[in-house]
């Protein structure tokens, strides 16, 4: 019987740890007791709040040249499992605690934090090569976010209970991963990043250009 992720651990806590950019240990550590707030601290907090309310808000400048493509930062080894070319073991479902109506071409970005617990899971060990080295802080693949759905109990071996399942299609790994700084949720890659990916991976240039022109 093939081991699945749902058999291994609490999916709700694990989804947060893996997908919300929080170190896994932070979710399970005992809370640190906090000292009661003093009157001086209360006054300082009130003054800071008053200044924030009275100060005019300046919106962040709009991107003068936005891209139509989005990117998603995922902790290795999950990002590298998506980038696998063997469709029999590759991960084509991304589990998230939140849903999105956005659809389109998606950069798969490997985050800096490695999910070390994932490396102990039988399903992960079986899918990854023996000489596996996590790719951190780089875009590792281009995919299409084709659809999303709530947990229906009958998806794939990589699906987690209690999560939204993001269906990935037309996944193409980068032959030359490109460094990038990730972010939480869906984020907009710069045109410079797209140019860098196309320059390092010429077969993907036409796909990126067509996706960005939509």
Each residue's pLDDT expressed in tens, for the chain with a length of 214 residues: 444 444 444 444 444 444 444 333 433 344 455 566 665 566 566 556 655 554 444 443 445 566 899 999 999 999 999 999 998 999 999 999 999 999 999 999 999 999 999 999 999 999 999 999 999 999 999 999 999 999 988 788 899 999 999 999 999 999 999 999 999 999 999 999 999 999 999 999 999 999 988 7
pLDDT of residue 48: 61
Q: What is the pLDDT of residue 121?
A: 95
Instruction: Please state, in angstroms and rounded to a whole number, the distance separating the CA atoms of residues 108 and 152.
Output: 24
Q: What share of the chain is helix, strand, coil (3-state, %, to 5)?
A: 30, 20, 45
Fold of 70-206: 2.30.130
Give burial (CB, 10 Å; 0-12/13-18/19+) of 40. Answer: exposed
- Beta strands at 70-74 and 104-110: parallel, antiparallel or unpaired: parallel
User: How far are the Cα atoms of 66, 74, 80, 176 from residue 138, in angstroms, in the given order?
Assistant: 21, 10, 10, 10
CB 138 within 8 A of CB 197: no
pTM for this entry? 0.71
Q: Which helix (H) or strand (E) is 176 found in, with range?
A: strand 164-179
């Amino acid at each position: 019987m093939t081991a699945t992720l749902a058999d291994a651990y609490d999916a709700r806590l694990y989804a947060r740890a893996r997908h919300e950019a929080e170190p896994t240990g932070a979710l399970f550590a005992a809370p640190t007791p906090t000292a009661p707030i003093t009157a001086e601290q209360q006054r300082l907090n009130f003054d800071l709040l008053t200044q924030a309310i009275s100060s005019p808000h300046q919106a962040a400048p709009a991107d003068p040249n936005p891209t139509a493509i989005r990117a998603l930062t995922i902790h290795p080894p999950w990002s590298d499992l998506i980038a696998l070319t063997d469709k029999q073991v590759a991960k084509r479902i991304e589990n998230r605690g939140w849903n999105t109506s956005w659809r389109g071409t998606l950069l798969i970005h490997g985050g800096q934090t490695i999910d070390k617990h994932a490396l102990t899971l039988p399903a992960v060990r079986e899918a990854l090569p023996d000489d596996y080295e996590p790719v951190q802080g780089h875009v590792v693949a281009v995919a299409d976010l084709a659809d999303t759905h709530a947990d229906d109990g009958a998806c794939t071996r990589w699906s987690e209970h209690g999560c939204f399942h993001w269906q990935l299609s037309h996944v193409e790994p980068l032959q030359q991963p490109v460094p990038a700084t990730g972010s939480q949720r869906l984020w907009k890659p710069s045109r410079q990043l797209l140019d860098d990916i196309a320059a390092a991976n010429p077969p993907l240039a036409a796909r990126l250009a067509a996706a960005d022109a939509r």
